[in-house]
Amino acid sequence: MERSLLSKGFILSLFFLIPSLVLGGSSKGASPKEKGISRELYKELELFTKVLHYVKSDYVEEVKEKQLIEGAIRGMLSTLDPHSLYMPADLYRELKVDTEGKFGGVGIEVTIKDNWLTVVTPLEDTPAAKAGIRAGDKILKINNNSAKGISLIDAVKMMRGDKGSRLRLTIVREGVKPFQVTLARDLIRIKSVKKELIDKKYGYVRITSFQEGTAKELDRALRELEKKADGRQLGGLVLDLRNNPGGLLDEAVDVADQFLESGLIVKTTSRDEEIDKREAKRERTHPMMPLIVLVNGGSASAAEIVAGALQDQKRGVIVGTQTFGKGSVQTVYELGDGSALKLTIARYFTPSGRSIQAQGIKPDIIVPEVKILETAAVDQSTLREKDLKGHLEEEFDEKESNLPSKSKKPKESAVTVEDYQKKVALDYLRSWDSFGKVIPAAQ
C-alpha cells in the first residue's frame, strides 16, 4: 500500500498522531526502481558493508544486526529533509490508526527545532490544551529525563502510556522561567468539524484536522446550518482552519471542491515534472455564499491547500496570519516486515502556481490573534516549516546551546478580545455589501 502524504514536518504528537499527514492514493510494497540503483551506488555500499562488519565484530559490546541497520537507515534519512522518516512496525501501526481520528495520549503535536522538542500546537479539548500548553513551547524534560537532542520516535515512546497515567513535562516559554506541567493521559477522540449559527444568518465552521469523513461532515454541517436558518441560504460563512495541522489529501480536495464550481485545486510536481493535479467538480458545490477563511501559523499542509485554492480562485477572502508553509509531498512505502518508509517525493502548488513550501499562505487581510494597543507588545513568534532544520528550500545551521534561547518577556496587552480574529471575520460578513466588492458576491 503506497500513500501520498503532505505533512507539517515529522510531527509526532504525544497521542501518537502524525497529524499533518496528507494521505492519498493506495499503498504498495517498496521495491527499488532500476533507475535509482547505479553501479556507483553499489560501489559506495562496499564502504557501508566494511563499517557494518567492523562494528559487528569489534565493537565493545555485542550489537544486534537489526539495531545497526535501523540506525543506518535513520542516519541516511536524517541527511534529507525533516519529513523523510523510517517508521518501525509499532509506529507505523499508530500512523494508520491515527488518521481515523481516535488517539491515546495528551494531545500535543511536536517537532524538532534547534535540536529541541518543540510544540507545534495542542489540539482542542485535549489534556494539553486544557493545561495551557502553547504552540512554540519547548519541552526540556520528559518525566525528569532531558529532551535535549532526543529523537521524535524516542520522545513518543517516553510520552506514551495508558489512559489515566501521569506525564510530567518541563516547559520553557518565551519570556517565562521553565515550569512543570503534569498531564493525565486520555483517549483522544477528535471531532474534525464543529459548527455554529450566528445571528440566525451566518455560518461558522471550524475544521480541526482533515481525517476520514471530514468532507462529508462539512457537507452535513452546512446543510444543518441552513435548516437552522429556516431553510434559507446562509448570509455568509466563516471557515476556520486555524491550528489545523493537515491530514488526508483527498479530504482537503473534497472540502475545497464544495466551494468551487470548477478549476484547479492543487497540483504536485517532482523533479520539475507534474505528477498529479486535482480539479473541482461542479456537482459537489455549495451555494456561492460569501466566504471568509481564517488561518494562522498553525494552519499547515492540507489546510494550506484549501486556503490556497480558495484564495487563487477568488472564491474566499483569507483572514488571519501567515500559515506554516508545508508544501512537500510524502509517500509511505511498506517494507514487508510491518515497518515503513515515509519519503518526500514532490512539492505541491496552488492553482496559480505558487509553492507554499517554507513560505505559507499570506492572508488577504492580516489580523493578529489578539487586539493590540499601541502601548502593548505581544509576542507573535510562531513555529513554521522554514524554522525546521534541513527543510527543502533552505538549510539552517544548527546552534548548540544548553537551553533554548529566550527573548525578553513581552508586555501584556491591556485590552484583549476573546477570539479577536473570529470577531473580525464575522464583522466582515456583516458588512459584505461594501466589503464583498473584493470578490464576486453570491449569485
Residue 146's DSSP bridge partners are 141
Q: Which of 81, 98, 254, 312 is catalytic?
A: 312
User: HSE-up of 11 (CA within 13 Å, CB side)?
Assistant: 37
CB atoms within 10 A of CB 193: 21
Q: Which of 301, 339, 342, 389 is catalytic?
A: 301
Question: Kind of pairing, strands 317-320 and 328-334?
Answer: unpaired
CB atoms within 10 A of CB 392: 19
Respond yes or no: is residue 312 known to be catalytic.
yes
Q: Which of 326, 342, 389, 422 is catalytic?
A: 326
Respond yes or no: is residue 157 known to be catalytic.
no
Respond yes or no: is residue 26 known to be catalytic.
no
Catalytic residues: 301, 312, 326
